Amino acid sequence: MHILTIAIFLVSLIFNSYSADKALKPEQYPFSFSKPLGKIDKNSAQRGLQVYVEVCASCHGLKHVAYRSLEGLGYNKDQINRIAAQFQLNDLPNDEGEILKRNAIFSDYFVEPYENYNAAKAANNGAYPPDLSLMVKARKDGANYVRSLLLGYTDAPEGFDVGEGYYNKYMAGNVIAMPQPLYGDDVEYKDGTKASLEQEVNDLVTFLTWTSMPDLENRRAAGLKVIFFLFIMTIVFYLSYRKIWSELKN
Ligand code: HEC
């Protein structure tokens, strides 16, 4: 190939990637877990679970999360069975060979919203609603990104063609196939918290951070122990160094 053709091709590649990625950087929000030793706010995560179940679960799966792991958010087994019973899945074939639905229970994983990938795409104008279990880890600055995205729906600027999608400042390319899912007052919180848009989004992101990193607190606690241990050992080694050398010098 002619060298000039290659050069033009490369330059156009660079320009394309610029124009495709004109998303705003996510707004930084001080979540309970943002600080180095911060924890997941369990009450907030419980409210976030409610938002997921009542709003997002009709399109997005959470297939890596088992209902029983909700114990980590402070629920007991009965409460978890009640949460799971809001979802139905195919039972094993009965004696007549029919497959009936049954309520999900403690030991199941979150039930998928669609029978399969193609059904999910077909129901959403050809765009697949990705599984949310690991979404906060999968995107750069994930917690802030998901928060900004859910708050980032605005009217498209003059002359901007969104096709069959919706305008969103934080989405790569500024067009997203997901209609704005939250407006505020989408749920009635069981603990009486006011369900403003911002509250719902913060709770939801706290919940999705927990699903992505359920062991976050343990890891941080372990890290702290290691640092404490190294600190003590530094003192021990320093004192023994002093001791050994003081004897050798005499
Ligand atoms: C009506 C179906 C529907 C509902 C309800 C819905 N979504 Fe989506 N969502 C989609 C589709 C479709 C996409 C794929 C968008 C695309 O690729 O343009 C998507 C994409 C996403 C993404 C990924 C964006 C990216 O960076 O690729 C996130 C995060 C997300 N949704 C979160 C949520 C949350 C949280 C809720 C609940 C508050 C929710 N969605 C409710 C259909 C839905």
Question: Is 149 in a helix, a strand, or coil?
Answer: helix
What is the whole-number distance in angstroms between the Cα of residue 68 and the centre of ligand 1? Answer: 25
Whole-number Å distance between alpha carbons of 107 and 114? 20
Both structure tokens of 195: 């369900």
Entry pTM: 0.87
Bigger pLDDT: 68 or 11? Answer: 68
Quick one: which atom of ligand 1 is closest to the CA of 200? 38
pLDDT of 20 over the 60 cut: no
Bigger pLDDT: 3 or 82? Answer: 82
Quick one: which atom of ligand 1 is closest to the CA of 58? 5
CB 33 within 8 A of CB 209: yes
pLDDT of residue 11: 66
Instruction: Return the exposure string of 5-22: e unless at least 16 CB atoms fall within 10 Å of the residue's CB, then b.
Output: eeeeeeeeeeeeeeeeee
**Ligand 1 pocket, residue 48 CB under 6 Å:** no
Instruction: Give the domain ranges of the chain.
Output: 25-65+110-214, 223-250
For the chain, the maximum distance between any two Cα atoms, rounded to a whole number of angstroms, is: 93
Both structure tokens of 82: 């009640």
**Residue with CA closest to ligand 1 atom 29:** 146
pLDDT digits (tens, 9 = 90+) for 131-161: 999 999 999 999 999 999 999 999 999 999 9
Pocket mutation for ligand 1, best pick of 47, 53, 60, 164 (most atoms within 8 Å of C-beta): 60
**Ligand 1 pocket, residue 55 CB under 6 Å:** yes
pLDDT of 15 over the 60 cut: no
pLDDT of 72 over the 60 cut: yes
pLDDT of residue 12: 63
When pLDDT is cut at 50, 70 and 90, the band that residue 250 belongs to is: low
pLDDT digits (tens, 9 = 90+) for 214-232: 988 888 889 999 999 999 9
**Ligand 1 pocket, residue 124 CB under 6 Å:** yes
pLDDT of residue 37: 84
Both structure tokens of 171: 């989405």
**Closest residue by Cα to residue 129 from 138, 118, 120:** 120
**Ligand 1 pocket, residue 177 CB under 6 Å:** yes
Q: Please give the average per-residue pLDDT across 174-179, as a whole number.
A: 96
pLDDT of 10 over the 70 cut: no
pLDDT of residue 22: 76
What is the whole-number distance in angstroms between the Cα of residue 135 and the centre of ligand 1? Answer: 10
Q: Specify whether domain 25-65+110-214 bears CATH 1.10.760.10.
A: yes
Whole-number Å distance between alpha carbons of 11 and 148? 31
pLDDT of residue 168: 96
CB 201 within 8 A of CB 149: no
Pocket mutation for ligand 1, best pick of 134, 164, 178 (most atoms within 8 Å of C-beta): 178
